[in-house]
């Protein structure tokens, strides 16, 4: 696979796989290598003696599957019973009524001349109920997912990169890590992280740590 982000979590040196999925990265014994790619689960491997001795090796990534929340429908399988006990429809119904004669009425003249409504076969009454997407509910659920991502981001990034990355590599005091992460948010690090662009997030952290550490109390 191409465009896979590969990062050495010990030296924080990274690279990207080419169009054939090939890559090279500097590593030593017991280093942890992180693989990150869109639509695939993040994977870590530890460099062992066997890997160091081998001329090449293959890394397999697992496709990421988004699981939907469980939905309870509550049907018994008895159609007559389920129809009698269906929930009350809260969607407003229209108050218009139409007949077959209405479809033949002259619509009057306009710039294109007189026209009448087309009649295509036997008239069929509109269904009593119609399914209308609940856009408000979908919007609310989407907002909840986005808020959850925002809340989980600092925890996930600290766990993935490790506390030592911030305290030793970037010289950020442990008690100020969350503050530093918030300081970097204007560079869309959250969007990049969830877009499997961790290598870019690390580079942003490195760049922003310099002016951040220069800020006086």
pLDDT confidence tier of residue 102, bands split at 50, 70 and 90: low
Of 20-24, 67-71, 128-132, 192-196, which range is least confident?
128-132
Provide the CB-side half-sphere exposure for 109 (13 A, CA): 2
| Exposed / middle / buried, residue 23 (Cβ in 10 Å: 0-12, 13-18, 19+) | middle
Mean pLDDT (whole number) for 166-195: 91
Q: Which of 138, 166, 156 is nearest to 196 (CA)?
A: 156
State the first-to-last Cα distance of the chain, in angstroms, to the nearest integer.
Answer: 46
Greater confidence (82 vs 104) lies with: 82
Rounded-to-integer distance, Cα 189 and Cα 187, Å: 6
- Spell out the domain ranges in the chain: 1-68
Checking if the pLDDT of 198 tops 80, the result is yes
Domain 1-68 matching CATH 1.10.3470: the answer reads no
Checking if the pLDDT of 160 tops 60, the result is yes
Would you say 196 and 37 are in contact if contact means Cβ atoms under 8 Å apart? yes
In the sheet with 14-16, reading across from the earlier edge strand, the strands are 14-16, 5-8, 32-37, 40-46
Percent of the chain with pLDDT over 90: 21
List all residues 6 or more positions away from 163 whose beta carbon is below 8 Å from its beta carbon: 174, 177
Q: Which residue has the tokens 């890559």?
A: 23
> How does pLDDT run across 25-82, given as a tens digit for each residue?
888 999 999 998 877 888 899 999 888 888 788 889 888 776 655 655 666 667 777 6
């Amino acid at each position: 696979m191409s465009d896979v982000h590969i990062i050495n979590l010990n030296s924080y040196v990274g690279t990207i796989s080419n169009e054939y999925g090939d890559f090279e990265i500097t590593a030593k014994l017991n280093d942890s290598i992180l693989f990150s790619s869109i639509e695939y689960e993040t994977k870590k491997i530890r460099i062992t003696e066997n890997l160091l001795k081998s001329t090449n090796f293959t890394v397999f990534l697992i496709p990421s599957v988004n699981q939907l929340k469980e939905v309870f429908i509550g049907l018994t399988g008895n159609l007559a019973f389920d129809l009698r006990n269906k929930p009350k429809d809260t969607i407003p119904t229209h108050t218009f009524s139409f007949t077959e004669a209405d479809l033949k009425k002259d619509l009057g003249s306009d710039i294109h001349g007189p026209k009448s409504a087309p009649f295509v076969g036997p008239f069929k009454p509109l269904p009593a109920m119609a399914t209308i997407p609940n856009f408000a509910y979908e919007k609310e659920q989407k907002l909840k997912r986005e808020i959850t991502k925002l809340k989980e981001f600092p925890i996930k990034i600290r766990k993935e990169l490790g506390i030592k990355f911030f305290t030793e590599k970037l010289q950020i005091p442990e008690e100020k890590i969350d503050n530093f992460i918030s300081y970097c948010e204007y560079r869309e690090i959250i969007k990049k992280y969830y877009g499997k662009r961790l290598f870019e997030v690390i580079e942003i952290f490195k760049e922003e740590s310099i002016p951040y550490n220069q800020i006086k109390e």
